[in-house]
Structure 1
Amino acid sequence: MHQQKPRIEERTQMLARARLRGSGPERDACVVNVSSRGLAVTADNPPRRGEIVEVVVGDNRLVGEVKWSDVRRFGMILRERISVISLISGDSAGVTLKRKEALRREKARAAADRSSIARKFQFVVFAAAGAVATIVAAEFVSDGLQSLNKAKAAMAGQPVVQVKSRSR
């Protein structure tokens, strides 16, 4: 008696129209259950064990190796892990987890780029504000020193020279 290995993860039941490509003509098929690592499919004239086939569900192309086959059904292990939820919901952005991870990384990179630009802009604004504050402080100190020089000259009995104030 043939004993089946325990499954790594449970299969999710579903019914989805598909196209089967592999040896022989392209034909209609139906995905009956799915996990992140494999599919069970019904089709007329299913492929034999060991064949590499492509099952197209909506816009998603799932490639894998046939692990078992009988009169109308076959099971296949996928080359890449997939998101079961994305396949069931008909997500056209891709169901392979590598592609989803790449999209996630791309979005994170774009967000980091936007954040980097914002930080650079913030630095420029703070640098400009610092420069303006430095100029204002220098003017204030300059005016204060002029007043002190006038007071010092007056106390020493020297004539006080009037300096024209800058127009503001």
Structure 2
Amino acid sequence: MLAKLQTGFRPREERITVLIPSRMRVGSAWTDVVIHNVSSRGLMGGCDTPPAPGSYIEVRRGTIVIVGRVMWGKGRFFGVRTQDRISVKALIDEPRLAGRPQPKAQDAGTERRAENRLAHEARMARSVERSRAFSSMFQYVGIVLTIIAAVGLGGSIIYGALTEKVATVTQALEVK
């Protein structure tokens, strides 16, 4: 059925899911961006202030520079069609630069990220781990409370049935 619907369309190129922190320049402003998936001709990124569709951007990861045009945007996410082919393996394997590039005199007045990237990532990892531990504990407590409620309900039903039978027997013994 799906093949009949896709007649005349090229198959979509496979996207590789990644989480690659990078820097993005829109106009003269730099911002942090995370690449969420990538193919040889495009990528999907996410950031707090995504660029408008139709704008041209530059994404940098280490020594790799990707130039492209934003094709769509939805919430914090946006899709980019790149000018040149992307080597997905090179992008994934690219290490971060040891230090930040030195700002030029014209960039000195622009705002840069104040906190250390590694400290931020460590804090986020701790937050994720705390959330995971909380959800495991919440799930455990929920299961235990459900079991206690089921046992209480079952005990109540059994107690009611036995009390009725004992009352009948007691009444029969008192008559004689």
TM-score (norm 2): 0.47
- Structure number with greater Rg is 1
TM score, norm. by length of structure 1: 0.49
